[in-house]
Amino acid sequence: MFLALNQQWTHVYALVVAVAIQTTSISIGMGQGFSAVLLPQLENSDLHVDTEDASWIASLGVISTPIGALASGLLAETIGRKWTIESTAIPFLLGWILMAVAQGKLWLYCGRFVTGFAIGMAATCYVYLAEISRPSERGMIAALGPVCVSLGVLMVYSMGYFLDWHIACVVCAAMAAFSMFVIHFAPETPPYLASKGQYHKAQEVLVLLRGNADEAEKEMTQVLQSVNKTKKMTWQEYVGQVKDPAVWKPFLILIVFFICQEGSGIYVIVYYANDLFQNIGPVLDSSVESIIVGTVRLVVSAIGAACIQRFGRRTLAIFASIGMGLSMAGASAYVYAYGHLAQADRPFNYFPFVCVVVHVVMSMMGMLQLPWLMIGELFPLKVRGVMSGIVSSLAYLFIFAIVKVYPNLMAWFQLWGMLAFFSVTSACTVVFVFFFLPETQGSSLIEIENSFRNNVKSKENPDPVYILRI
């Protein structure tokens, strides 16, 4: 009975640690959603923001994110996963303070740039959570990230409706300070400790997280197998790891997965929520519609976390992509047919809004979470920190590209064309996932690493990565 209670306590402890780490994700959501509430308020201010200014304010929150992601990869290997995540609060604080005291557009530009850098640094969260989690719990714990991001987006949408944006910045800064405080008490990950020769400390943390000495010892053996492959490598040998199938295969898979994610319109809706609802024809006040969508994101992200625990990665990615593609196809067809009419003259004028909500619901069932979650799963320990930073950096570069060019694409292709593009990309995602995305649910990190080298498909989890065997 005591053992059962002890194991139950360790489950709670691991969850508390995960939640503490994911408070950083709340700040990420606030940063991502802030432009959607800032831009409408600036239209009625003395700053005279035009379309070009608006695109820069939105995209500067992303352009520096790749730099932050690269920095996080290097820091994760030098000062550790925990300290990298904790230090993320520093640029968050600086960025929000710069915007809170802003008297001109330059201050806003600087604040958005700095908070974007902080968002990139937070990429280490997924590596941290993958390294402290049991294989059976890894998906659910990592999926807490999108839940917390959605909470941050909803919070900032709501603050934008009720508060002046200067005050909203102060609240966001307070959230960053709180995150820094609670993360200070989290442990470092056992794989990182072991990679630095702190074997006894790594064992202690594993026992604390697992509540079972035998389970911790078995997992420590697997950790040491990975550590032994990383020891005594020169810089040239480290760079040469790119030739390892366990490195280049996950890299290619994740890059394409992120391109599919960005092309499906997920982040366009986050960064341009109010503008998008104005373009498709608002049923309610566009700010209220943004809050509704933010609430839906939060609720469905929690459901998505449970689904990731229950269903395979491939199943969820295909299901989500099909739903996203159909919803955008419906919205595109409607706008093409009735977009030239006045809002009051359109039949079922709420239909495009419903399509956007369905798109958000389906994205939160898998496509938003999975690429980020799998960064922490696919790479071997010897390059996990650096490669997670590189892939996250490229992913944020893709986000910046779509956010920056969205206003121009809208002018070129019109609204129905953009929605059709999102739909086609979602259809392509289904094909990519079916043929190339490996299944990682329930597999340990060392098993995933070996699967890329051994060219062996698991009987329980068919692995389509064999198609990349060239």
pLDDT at residue 230, as a whole number: 57
Counting residues of the chain whose pLDDT is more than 70, the rounded percentage is 87
pLDDT over 70 (residue 240): no
Least confident of 181-195, 277-291, 388-402: 277-291
User: Where do the structural domains in the chain lie, given as residue ranges?
Assistant: 2-186+229-468
Least confident of 124-133, 168-177, 305-314, 419-428: 305-314
Q: Which of 257, 271, 272, 354 is nearest to 313 (CA)?
A: 257
pLDDT single digits (tens) 326-382: 999 998 998 888 877 776 777 887 888 888 889 888 988 888 888 988 887 888 877
pLDDT at residue 246, as a whole number: 81
Q: Tell me the mean pLDDT in the region 226-245.
A: 64
What does the mean pLDDT of the chain come to? 81
Q: Which of 435, 409, 429 is nearest to 325 (CA)?
A: 429
pLDDT over 80 (residue 143): no
Total Cβ atoms within 10 A of residue 51: 10
C-alpha span between 145 and 370 (Å, rounded): 11
Q: What single DSSP character describes residue 461?
A: S
> For residue 464, what pLDDT band results from cuts at 50, 70 and 90?
very low
Q: Would you list the DSSP string of 308-328?
A: HHHS-HHHHHHHHHHHHHHHH
pLDDT over 70 (residue 463): no
Pick the CATH number of 2-186+229-468 from 1.10.10.10, 3.30.70.1230, 1.20.1250.20, 2.60.300.12: 1.20.1250.20
Token pair belonging to 156: 């900032």
pLDDT over 90 (residue 141): no
pLDDT single digits (tens) 220-234: 887 777 666 555 555
Least confident of 250-259, 350-359, 379-388: 379-388
pLDDT at residue 176, as a whole number: 95
pTM for this prediction? 0.72
Q: 280-312: string of b/e by CB count within 10 Å (b at 16+)?
A: bbbbeebbebbbbbbebbbebbbebbebbeeeb
Q: What single DSSP character describes residue 466?
A: G
Q: Tell me the mean pLDDT in the region 242-259.
A: 88
Total Cβ atoms within 10 A of residue 407: 17
pLDDT at residue 305, as a whole number: 77
Q: Tell me the mean pLDDT in the region 142-169.
A: 84
Total Cβ atoms within 10 A of residue 77: 22
C-alpha span between 418 and 410 (Å, rounded): 7
pLDDT single digits (tens) 45-74: 777 777 777 777 777 777 888 889 888 888
Sign of the C-alpha dihedral, residues 377, 119, 304, 129?
positive
pLDDT over 60 (residue 153): yes
Interacting residues of 290 by C-beta distance below 8 A, sequence separation 6+: 36, 37, 157, 273, 274, 277
> For residue 194, what pLDDT band results from cuts at 50, 70 and 90?
confident
Q: Tell me the mean pLDDT in the region 440-459.
A: 70
pLDDT at residue 236, as a whole number: 60
> For residue 457, what pLDDT band results from cuts at 50, 70 and 90?
very low
